Chains A and B, each alone.
Chain A
Amino acid sequence: MSIIQINNLKKSYGTNEVLQGIDLTIAKSEVVVIMGPSGSGKSTLLRCLNFLEEPTEGIIRIGEFQIDAGGKANRQRKKEIRELRKKTGFVFQSFNLFPHKTAIENVMEGPIIIHGTKLEEARILAKALLTKVGLGDRCDYYPAQLSGGQQQRVAIARSLALNPMVMLYDEPTSALDPELVKEVLQVIKDLAREGMTMIIVTHEMSFAKDVADRVIFMDNGVIVEQGTSEEIFLKPKEERTKQFLSIVE
Chain B
Amino acid sequence: MDVTIIIDSLPSLLQATLMTVLLAAVSIIIALVIGFFAAIVRIVKVRILNGIATAYVSIIRGTPLLVQIFVIYYGLPQIGISLDPISSGVVALSLNAGAYLSESFRASILAVDNGQMEASLSMGMTYSQALRRIILPQSLRIAIPTLSNTFIVLIKDTSLVSVITVTELLQMSSLIIAKTFEPLTIYLLAAAIYWILITFFTTILDKLEIRTSKYLVR
Write the residues of chain A forming the contact surface with B, with a CB cutoff of 8 angstroms: 50, 52, 78, 82-83, 85-86, 88, 90, 92, 94, 96-101, 109-110, 113-114, 142-145, 158-159, 162
A144 in contact with B123 (CB, 8 Å)? no
Contacts of B44 in A (CB 8 A): none
Q: Answer whether residue B12 sits at the interface, using C-beta atoms and an 8 A cutoff.
A: no
- CB proximity of A91 to chain B, nearest CB, Å: 9
Contacts of B180 in A (CB 8 A): none
Contacts of A110 in B (CB 8 A): 123-124
B118 in contact with A114 (CB, 8 Å)? no
Q: Answer whether residue B138 sits at the interface, using C-beta atoms and an 8 A cutoff.
A: yes
Which listed residue, A78, A98, A145, touches B119 by the CB 8 Å rule?
A98
Interchain residue pairs A-B with the least CB separation, the first 5: A86-B124, A96-B119, A96-B115, A90-B122, A85-B124
Q: Answer whether residue B116 sits at the interface, using C-beta atoms and an 8 A cutoff.
A: yes
Q: In whole angstroms, how far apart are the Cα atoms of A52 and B121 in the complex?
A: 8
Q: In whole angstroms, how far apart are the Cα atoms of A109 and B122 in the complex?
A: 13
Q: In whole angstroms, how far apart are the Cα atoms of A205 and B103 in the complex?
A: 48
Q: Answer whether residue B217 sits at the interface, using C-beta atoms and an 8 A cutoff.
A: yes
A100 in contact with B115 (CB, 8 Å)? no
Q: In whole angstroms, how far apart are the Cα atoms of A110 and B123 in the complex?
A: 7
Contacts of A101 in B (CB 8 A): 215
Which listed residue, B115, B126, B141, touches A82 by the CB 8 Å rule?
B126
B129 in contact with A94 (CB, 8 Å)? no
Q: Answer whether residue B125 sits at the interface, using C-beta atoms and an 8 A cutoff.
A: yes
**Interface size range on B against A:** 20 to 34
Interface flags, B90-117, vs A, CB<8A=1, else 0: 0000000000000000000000010110
Q: In whole angstroms, how far apart are the Cα atoms of A90 and B121 in the complex?
A: 10
Q: Answer whether residue B47 sits at the interface, using C-beta atoms and an 8 A cutoff.
A: no
Q: In whole angstroms, how far apart are the Cα atoms of A113 and B127 in the complex?
A: 12
B133 in contact with A109 (CB, 8 Å)? yes
Contacts of A96 in B (CB 8 A): 113, 115-116, 118-119
B119 in contact with A114 (CB, 8 Å)? no
Question: Which residue on chain A has the smallest CB distance to residue B112?
Answer: A99
Q: In whole angstroms, how far apart are the Cα atoms of A52 and B130 in the complex?
A: 14
- CB proximity of A212 to chain B, nearest CB, Å: 23
Q: In whole angstroms, how far apart are the Cα atoms of A83 and B121 in the complex?
A: 11
Which listed residue, A82, A94, A100, touches B124 by the CB 8 Å rule?
A82
- CB proximity of B168 to chain A, nearest CB, Å: 38
Q: In whole angstroms, how far apart are the Cα atoms of A78 and B123 in the complex?
A: 13
A144 in contact with B217 (CB, 8 Å)? yes
Contacts of B218 in A (CB 8 A): 144-145
Chain A CB within 10 Å, residue with most, of B122, B138, B215: B122
Q: Answer whether residue B216 sits at the interface, using C-beta atoms and an 8 A cutoff.
A: yes
- CB proximity of A17 to chain B, nearest CB, Å: 23
B124 in contact with A162 (CB, 8 Å)? yes
Interface flags, B137-166, vs A, CB<8A=1, else 0: 110010000000000000000000000000
A144 in contact with B126 (CB, 8 Å)? no
Q: Answer whether residue B22 sits at the interface, using C-beta atoms and an 8 A cutoff.
A: no
A52 in contact with B129 (CB, 8 Å)? no
B123 in contact with A52 (CB, 8 Å)? no
- CB proximity of B214 to chain A, nearest CB, Å: 8
Contacts of A94 in B (CB 8 A): 115
Q: In whole angstroms, how far apart are the Cα atoms of A213 and B156 in the complex?
A: 69
B215 in contact with A100 (CB, 8 Å)? yes
Q: In whole angstroms, how far apart are the Cα atoms of A78 and B125 in the complex?
A: 11
Contacts of A142 in B (CB 8 A): 215-216
Contacts of A50 in B (CB 8 A): 122
Contacts of A109 in B (CB 8 A): 123, 133-134
Question: Which residue on chain B has the smallest CB distance to residue A88?
Answer: B122
Contacts of A159 in B (CB 8 A): 123
Contacts of B217 in A (CB 8 A): 144
Contacts of A114 in B (CB 8 A): 123-125
Q: In whole angstroms, how far apart are the Cα atoms of A113 and B124 in the complex?
A: 9
B215 in contact with A144 (CB, 8 Å)? yes
Question: Which residue on chain A has the smallest CB distance to residue B138?
Answer: A100
Contacts of B123 in A (CB 8 A): 85-86, 109-110, 113-114, 158-159, 162
Question: Which residue on chain B has the smallest CB distance to residue A161?
Answer: B123
Which listed residue, B119, B125, B216, touches A113 by the CB 8 Å rule?
B125
Q: In whole angstroms, how far apart are the Cα atoms of A85 and B124 in the complex?
A: 5
Contacts of B122 in A (CB 8 A): 50, 52, 85, 88, 90
